[in-house]
Amino acid sequence: MFPADDELEITVARTAELLRAEGVPVRLIDCREEDEHAFCRIEGAELIPLSRFAELAHSRLLPEPEDAEPVVVYCHHGMRSLSATQFLRQKGRRRVWSMRGGIDAWSSEIDPEVRRY
């Protein structure tokens, strides 16, 4: 159901499937800044801004416990979330992926109620 551990990205369609699936734990992280998160967000997402990611990730995402939920990180278009994903992978977090296309793709392909900017 999840991409392979050596893949860095996950599609918005696959992310939506995971979030809807019963019994499939997934942690959704928004790495945009507070003003972007206030403007629009995916329901259930936890905000960890990229500007504070290294600082906050150590207390909220690292180290990875054995029973850790898989993590999907998103931003506006997918570039910041890819950086955040690579950071977490370098720190030993294995089951983490960047949502390709970000919230903009989510709004276009999954939920048009999510405002675009």
Domains in the chain, ordered, with CATH? 9-67+89-106 (3.40.250)
Q: How many CB atoms lie within 10 A of CB 3?
A: 15
The residue among 80, 104, 84, 78 whose CA lies nearest residue 96 is 84
Q: What is the pLDDT along the chain (117 residues), one digit of tens a residue?
A: 899 989 999 999 999 999 999 999 999 999 999 999 999 999 999 999 999 999 999 888 888 777 889 999 999 999 999 999 999 999 999 999 999 999 999 999 999 999 999
Contacts of 58 (CB under 8 A, 6+ apart): none
pLDDT value at residue 45: 97
pLDDT value at residue 66: 77
d(CA 42, CA 76): 11
